[in-house]
A and B are shown apart, each in its own frame.
Chain A
Amino acid sequence: MAYPSVSLTPQPEHVGTQLLEVSMGPQHPSTHGVFRMDVVLDGESVVKLKPVFGYLHRNHEKIAEQETYLGSMPYTDRLDYLCSLTNNWGYALAVEKLAGIEVPERAEYLRVIVGEMTRLQNHALLVGFLMQDMGSSGTPLMYAFREREKLLDLFEALTGARMMCNYMRFGGCRVDLPAGWLEHAKKVVDDFPRFLDEYEALLAGNEILMARTQGVGVLSPELAVSAGITGPMLRASGVNYDIRKVDKYGIYDRFAFRVPLGDHGDVYDRYMIRLLEMRETVKILQQALRDLPEGPIMDPKTKVRNFRPKPGEAYGRIESPKGELGFYLVSDGSPTPYRYRVRPPSLVNLTVLEEMCLGHNVADVVVILGSVDIVLGEVDR
């Protein structure tokens, strides 16, 4: 039976519409923390969007400038609290550049192993939460959580903590692998593609997923480069820039892996890039776990107590799961950094949030924000 296409309620011509201002957040489940977007809506579509930051601001940088160099290491865990190990790595790398510290080979391998595991669990969590944001309540997220928990068990066995790992030191790592860890890690890593296959089988061709993500939140490569977007979000727009390949920090020149690139720069590409990156990460992990050499895990010349780098400055950056995580340090020769700056990928990636959301429905804002992958501990610092 065909229904008439006219509206059943009479719509007089003189009834105008008005813009509606909605404050999404700070306590909104889609904002993944305490983040607010002031959205101006015309009906359902977004005509203006202003992000409001600072709800989790505790002036991390000021606190670190009153602390010794090593004293800030546990605090970097709390920046992006899902990826504490890559935060440690970024900070350690910057201090090593500042003071000219060498890292032993085994420690470099350990860093790659834990860093790439961090990438796996971050991306797994992101794709799960993205599904949650689209309204597929529970199931995909719990599948992702199940996998993540296996990796967190490994972190706990190695560092003593699931999330606040505080594992790296200037010139190496804090502890060596416990007995049996390597075998267990190999098993978890080898099993990981099964989760990816399962996830793709469930969702890759899903009609709702495609309808909600394809063509939504498109970011052009020109704007992405200009706005300093980094990480999977940049590569989803088709710009080939991965700091692991460009800087080859640590020992990334030893591993064979590819950098997946997107075509359209929409939410679907950002979602798929994460899945593809996880497959490449598994490759890196398999090579690193296979080649892990014996040897010391700390540079014996490193001073732990009374560590005073010579006056100077250094900017060190790594490819964290969210993008370019940089640390800029200025030393004046004292035990505390004169200037300590974190270049947060989550904050800079939010620069173009408004451009991506304009014209889309308010429900799409949630999905677009979810695809940026932010953690408020890092955005607000």
Chain B
Amino acid sequence: MPLAASDVRYVEPPTMGLWEKLYLPAIFEGLGTTMRQMLKPAVTQQFPEQEPKLPAHFRGVHRLNRDEQGRVKCVACYLCSTACPAHCIDIVAAPSPWTDREKYPETFVIDELRCIYCGMCEEACPVDAIELTTLYDLTGLSRQEMLFDKEKLLSVFDQTTTAGTDPARTGRGRLGPASEKTADVRLPNPQ
């Protein structure tokens, strides 16, 4: 459809009066804003001494949850590695030594470098075995140390639950809503 002449609106720039032409009032206004900011308390977080308050749903380093007997909760169903958009989860399943499940992960490696911390593994997991904690400041000097294997992920669980930063979100010891024992899934702690 061609543009009609009546559709076009011409706009004139606003004319400046004497007040605007002086420019000085605008300068003092800007200086006043600066002065007011100087009198306000500083917003800087003193990071290494002062830890930031992160929301409880912040997605940081992963952990593998333990059940009440201290075993890994994971049932090696590969749902998390399938859901992972960055393909950073590598699981090797083996026949389980325990009677309550068929498989268990012999190795469970997450490449923390490639992970984009989207939380899809957490959503996909049917037994709430993998969770993301609020550990936010992970850094590494080499690629090898950033490959978190099963033991390290379990140690993250121990560390975060004992430190109290990330309490177990599901009823500890239960395999979760998708397993057989769904009779009384405890609600997560309201903290």
A associates with B: no
Chain B positions within 8 Å of A, measured between CB atoms, are: none
